[in-house]
Structure formats: structure tokens, C-alpha cells
Amino acid sequence: MNLLMLSGDTSVVRGERRAFHNTLSEFSNYWDRIDILTHRVRGVARHDCFENVTFYPSPWGKMMQSFYVWKKGRALAARRPYDLIVSHDYGFFLHGTGARWLSQASGVPYVSEIHHVDGYPRGANLRERLKPVLTRQYVRGAMSRALGFRITNAGELRPLLRSWSVPAEQLFLLYSLYLDFDVFRPENTVIEYDAIFVGRLTPNKAPFLFLEGIAAAARKREGLRVLIIGAGPLGTRLRARAAGLGPAASVEFRDWVAAPRELADMYRRSRCLICTSFSEGGPRVVAEALACGVPVISTRVGLAGELVQDEVNGFSIDWSADDIAARLEQIVAVPELRARMALAAPRSVQRFEKSRVIREYAHGYHHLAAT
């Protein structure tokens, strides 16, 4: 059986052994041949990976990707029969649009992957608030041709796509988030920080809301210690705002921590993780913190709505500084509650063990093509 994938992830072509490399390592065991059409990588026209996986980067810019998928896909399909096309879609759904054209031309069924919808359940600005409208138009246009849509969470994406009239039988739940439990695991560590924020310092992550919550909590409990890990366009303004908190709260900043073991240690040195995002595909940081035995305070975005259980392993919150402050005060003021949450936290993410998630993902598509 042969698979054609459409993906914007060029990490493998650039020689990086990251998540996509791990996924393909498992996929290569299920398919006779896997061809992958991806975005332009300067100087690379073809890249072989494993014995039966080949990348074909586009020679053109990103906005030509739909046409490239149609053109190159037809040329490849003329040489070998494909059993399934899988389109990894983000943003403007250029791969998904190309997949629909290619499926119509070749007769090969395709699945469109939707990891999350930018701007849903909330957008940080007008541009983000428009994206769910555009995504809805894409989904409705794809429904008649696509075999279905692969979704990566049940609590947010399933009801959203069902509200857009996508039949239940066209939705395939296959998780994408996975964890290495040799790295992200509980360990006895001295707690140094009352709260930690991990993420890019961009409007969608709402770091100013995080600081507003800390400021509100500090009005009742002075001397809070907070760690912010991340970099981004809001960094300078955020540091200035943090300095304005004065002695009420000590805010330490660190740029992105690349080493997973170091990041896991930062989680464990914190009393809780606070996630204030407006929309998310993961959020990975929530799952990582829980795996380390760290309670989580999070908005109901992506998988967080499924993972975080009130007073069991953390708290779900609205986009409210007062809500953040109240939940943080509970965790700081009641050590017994925090201890119970810390014990329960790792159990809530056990199903996201790395090899299991990748195996289920690979098997799911092979089974779909076979039936």
C-alpha cells in the first residue's frame, strides 16, 4: 500500500530528528511507499528518508503550494498508485485545497488533518477572529470530496466541526501530542516558584493576562515568585510590566529552554503551571507539566479542556485575572490540595505515551486505507 502525505513540516529535510522523524519511523513500517510533498527548502529537490520515504519540496513559494500539490501529485500518481492522501492543514489550507484538486483528478481518497482552528475558542485580534470563518468555509467545501477529517482532540474540535454540519462518521480522532515519560516525570524537587508560564510571548498566548492574574494574586499574598519561559514580540513590554509589580511579586524571565530535561526540571520547581492561551492545538506545556506532577491552571483550549479536571489535577479558568488569582491562591494556601493534585496529575496523561500515540496514528491511517 502506498501513501501520499502533504505536509508543511520540513524538519526532516533539514536533517532534524524531531517529532515528524519519529512519526515517519513508525509509518514506514505500515506502508510500502510514502511520498511527501512539502514546502520549498532552498537547494533541495528530493530527500530520501528511511528506505521507503521520499520528500519532494516545492520549487515555488508557499502561496503556490496548492498548485504544486496538484501538479506534482498527478505526476507521482501516474507512476505509482496511491491508496490514500493525507493532508496536514494549517492557516490557509493550501495543502487541503491541493488535496481536493488532486483527489478529483486521480480518484484517490484524501483525509484532511485539522489540529486546531486558529482563533477558536477566542481570537487575540481581528485577524485571528476571522480565521474560524475561513476554516468553516474550507471544511464545508471539502466535506463532499474528503474521506474525512482527522481531529486531534475530542472536546473542542469534534463539537465545533459537528456544528459546521460535518457528519460524525467523517471525523477520525487520532491524537498527535505525545510525551517521553523518561523525561517528563515526577521527581522530588525543591519548589522555587509559585507559578510558571511557558510559551511564546505573542498575543495568542495572552502573557499580559498571566501577569494581570499574578498582580491580582499579589494584592492578597505579597512575595509571589514567578518564572516566565519564552521569547517573542511582546517580551520587552512584558518585562517592563513585570518590573512595575515591585516587591509584590518577583518575576524571573528566561528565554526558551531547548533541552527537554531542563524544561522538565523547571516545571517540577514550580508550584503550578498557568496557561492563558486564547486558542491551542495542544497545549503541549499543559500535558508536560501534568506528566511532571505539576498542577495546572488553564483556559479551556485544545486538549486542556479534556486534561484539566477541577480540584483533581488543577483548575479550568475563563480569561479572567481574578479567576487566575483565586485559583492560584487556593494552590498556594492549601498545601494538602496541591499535594493531591500533584499525585493525580501524571495519571491524567498516561495515554499520551510516545510510542503508543505514534503507533495508533500510523495504524489508524493504514486501517482506514485498507477498508
Tens of pLDDT, residue by residue over 12-44, are: 999 998 889 999 999 999 999 999 999 999 988
pLDDT higher than 80, residue 120: yes
State the burial class of residue 160 (Cβ atoms within 10 Å of its Cβ: 0-12, 13-18, 19+). Answer: buried
Confidence of residue 66 (pLDDT cuts 50, 70, 90): very high
pLDDT of residue 215: 97
| pLDDT attached to residue 177 | 94
One-letter identity of residue 173: L
Span 73-113, pLDDT tens digits: 999 999 999 999 999 987 679 999 999 999 999 999 999 99
Are the CB atoms for 126 and 139 separated by under 8 Å?
no
Looking at the fold, whether 88 and 59 belong to one and the same domain comes out as: yes
**Structural domain tally of the chain?**
2
* Rounded-to-integer distance, Cα 299 and Cα 297, Å: 7
**Which pLDDT belongs to residue 281?**
87
Q: Is it the case that residue 342 has pLDDT exceeding 80?
A: yes
CB distance 236 to 173 below 8 Å: no
186 within domain boundaries: no
Do residues 169 and 315 both lie within one domain? no
Going by pLDDT thresholds of 50, 70 and 90, the confidence category of residue 323 is very high
Residue 329 sits in a domain of what CATH number?
Answer: 3.40.50.2000
Q: Is residue 190 part of a domain?
A: no
Q: Is residue 35 part of a domain?
A: yes
E strand spans, 162-275: 171-173, 195-198, 224-229, 249-254, 273-275
**Residue 51 pLDDT greater than 80, yes or no:** yes
pLDDT in tens, 227-249: 999 999 999 999 999 999 988 89
Is residue 27 within 8 A of residue 115, CB to CB? The reply is no
- For residue 305, how many other CB atoms are within 10 A of its CB? 18
pLDDT at 6: 97
- Shared domain for 216 and 333, answered yes or no, is yes
189 falls within a domain: no
Identify whether residues 259 and 337 lie together within a single domain.
Answer: yes
Q: In what order do the strands lie in the sheet with 195-198?
A: 249-254, 224-229, 195-198, 273-275, 296-299, 314-317
pLDDT of residue 45: 87
Instruction: Extract long-range pairs of 363-368: CB within 8 Å, 24+ residues apart.
Output: 363/30, 364/172, 364/174, 365/3, 365/27, 365/30, 365/84, 365/86, 365/111, 365/174, 366/1, 366/30, 366/31, 368/84, 368/111, 368/147, 368/172
Residue 206 has pLDDT above 90, yes or no: yes
Q: Looking at the structure, do residues 269 and 213 belong to the same domain, yes or no?
A: yes
Question: For position 41, what pLDDT does the model report?
Answer: 93
Residue range 197-214: mean pLDDT, rounded: 98
Report the C-alpha gap between 366 and 1 in whole angstroms: 8
84 and 144 fall within a common domain: yes
Q: Are residues 325 and 357 in the same domain?
A: no
Question: Is 93 a domain residue?
Answer: yes
Q: Is residue 16 part of a domain?
A: yes
293 and 334, same domain (yes or no): yes
pLDDT for residue 43: 87
In a domain, 187, yes or no: no
Bridge partners of 47? 55
- Does some domain include residue 188? no
> Which residues, in sequence order, are CB contacts of 273 under 8 Å at separation 6+?
195, 196, 197, 198, 267, 285, 286, 289, 294, 295, 296, 297, 298
Residues 345 and 366 in one domain: no
Range of the domain at 260: 195-351
Same domain flag for 209 and 326: yes
Same domain, 25 and 108: yes
Q: Looking at the predicted structure, is the pLDDT value of residue 162 above 90?
A: yes
Residues 71 and 207 both lie in one domain: no
5: nearest Cα among 15, 16, 20, 22: 20
